[in-house]
């Protein structure tokens, strides 16, 4: 049994919050550069500005966006690990530390309906915990902007519905989002589970870096990407071939009477970092 002090989680979460806010993942930069070379005119110039913004943020430690987002934290805890301390408090302490030391905007309000008072430290985080084999802890931090999150959708389909109905729903979600979600987008899609698990799967899909291992779903990801890009909303909603950079699908078994589908929309500033203890 390996003993890990909760303070180590705090330190890593803080570092990942700062890193995610200032430095786009390498695969995101690669995707942006690839589509920038395929566009012309205004769309190409907009993508170059997005890349310039990313480089300036990385070099000078400016936040990639003024909306530094909700901190969504995924912990994968090894079964041979004993954490000495309160995990939930450790994660929130890390978000608090990272947002303070990184001079990041605090966007979380304590009451969703009435007073809407700012918690002043961007906590609480949205925390997802899973247990895996081994004696390590993997920490993933996704900073999720409010504008893109507001355009996300979930629908309970009939079991008789198929790829076409699901595809139409996903493409329509992007069409309704338009420029509000700051394209080019990354889309996380959850299919299956129940109402709550489906939404989680869509969020988890945004932590992926590559195609689905299942050939059927990998092909569906490509079909959806083509369908979304056919909308020609383009970078920042001003037209072009690139409305989305990638589509990632996560699935789970579901009840025979259900077929839930969720779309979690992420803007061009897809801020995600991970580390390990």
pLDDT score recorded for residue 193: 98
**Boundary-marking domain end, from 144, 170, 188:** 144
**Do 138 and 151 have their domain in common?**
no
Q: Are 73 and 128 in contact (CB under 8 A)?
A: yes
Residue 46 lies in a domain: no
Are 241 and 183 within 8 A, CB to CB? Answer: no
User: How many domains, in total, are found in the chain?
Assistant: 2
Residue after which a domain boundary falls, among 116, 144, 172: 144
Task: Output the domain CATH number for residue 193.
Answer: 3.30.1330
Q: Are strands 126-132 and 70-78 parallel, antiparallel or unpaired?
A: parallel
Clarify whether residues 158 and 245 are in a common domain: yes
Q: Are residues 69 and 139 in the same domain?
A: yes
pLDDT at 144: 97
Look at residue 255 and tell me if it is in a domain: yes
User: For residue 203, how many other CB atoms are within 10 A of its CB?
Assistant: 22
- Please check whether residues 78 and 175 belong to one and the same domain: no
- Which phi and psi (to 5°) does residue 41 adopt? 65, -140
- pLDDT reported for residue 110: 95
Q: What number of residues does the chain have?
A: 277
Residue 53 located in a structural domain: no
Q: In the prediction, which pLDDT does 216 show?
A: 97
Count the Cβ atoms, other than its own, within 10 Å of residue 10.
Answer: 21
The reply to whether 115 and 223 lie within a common domain is: no
Pair (158, 246) in one structural domain: yes
Do 7 and 99 belong to one domain? yes
157 & 266 share domain: yes
Same domain for 250 and 220, yes or no, is yes
Q: How far apart are the first and last CA of the chain?
A: 14
136 and 196 part of one domain: no
pLDDT for position 158: 96
Same domain, 69 and 11: yes
Q: What is the pLDDT along the chain (277 residues), one digit of tens a residue?
A: 999 999 999 999 999 999 999 999 999 999 999 999 999 999 999 999 999 999 999 999 999 999 999 999 999 999 999 999 999 999 999 999 999 999 999 999 999 998 999 999 999 999 999 999 999 999 999 999 999 999 999 999 999 999 999 999 999 999 999 999 999 999 999 999 999 999 999 999 999 989 999 999 999 999 999 999 999 999 999 999 999 999 999 999 999 999 999 999 999 999 999 999 9
- Nearest CA to 136 out of 40, 243, 235, 8 is that of 8
Residue 206, CA distances (Å) to 38, 61, 158 in order: 24, 24, 25
Give a yes or no: residue 34 inside a domain.
no
Whether residues 125 and 223 fall in one domain: no
pLDDT at residue 214, as a whole number: 97
Q: Identify the pLDDT of residue 257.
A: 97
Which residues span the domain enclosing 125?
2-23+64-144
Give the per-residue pLDDT at 151. 98
DSSP classification of residue 130: E
Structure tokens at 236: 């920042």
Determine the Cα–Cα distance for residues 221 and 161; give it in Å rounded to an integer: 18
CA 86 to chain centroid, in Å, comes to 26
What's the confidence (pLDDT) of residue 155?
98
């Amino acid at each position: 049994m390996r003993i890990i002090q909760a303070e180590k989680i705090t330190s890593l979460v803080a570092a990942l919050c700062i890193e995610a806010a200032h430095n786009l993942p390498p695969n995101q930069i690669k995707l942006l550069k690839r589509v920038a070379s395929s566009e012309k005119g205004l769309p190409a110039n907009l993508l170059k500005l997005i890349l310039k913004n990313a480089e300036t943020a990385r070099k000078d430690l400016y936040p990639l966006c003024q909306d530094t987002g909700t901190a969504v934290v995924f912990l994968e805890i090894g079964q041979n690990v004993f954490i000495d301390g309160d995990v939930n408090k450790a994660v929130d302490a890390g978000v608090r530390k990272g947002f303070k030391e990184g001079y990041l905007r605090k966007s979380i309000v304590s009451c969703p309906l009435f007073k809407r008072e700012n918690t002043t430290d961007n906590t609480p985080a949205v925390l997802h915990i899973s247990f895996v084999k081994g004696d390590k802890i993997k920490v993933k931090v996704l900073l999720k902007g409010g504008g893109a999150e507001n355009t996300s959708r979930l629908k309970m389909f009939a079991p008789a519905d198929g790829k076409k109905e699901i595809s139409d729903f996903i493409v329509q979600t992007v069409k309704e989002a338009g420029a509000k979600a700051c394209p080019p987008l990354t889309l996380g899609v959850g299919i299956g589970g129940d109402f709550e698990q489906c939404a989680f799967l869509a969020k988890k899909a945004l932590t992926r870096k590559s195609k689905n291992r299942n050939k059927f779903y990998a092909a569906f990801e490509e079909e959806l990407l083509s369908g979304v890009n056919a909308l020609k909303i383009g970078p920042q909603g001003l037209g072009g071939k690139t409305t989305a950079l990638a589509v990632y699908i996560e699935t789970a078994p579901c009840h025979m009477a259900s077929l839930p589908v969720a779309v979690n929309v992420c803007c061009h500033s897809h801020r995600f970092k991970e580390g390990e203890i």
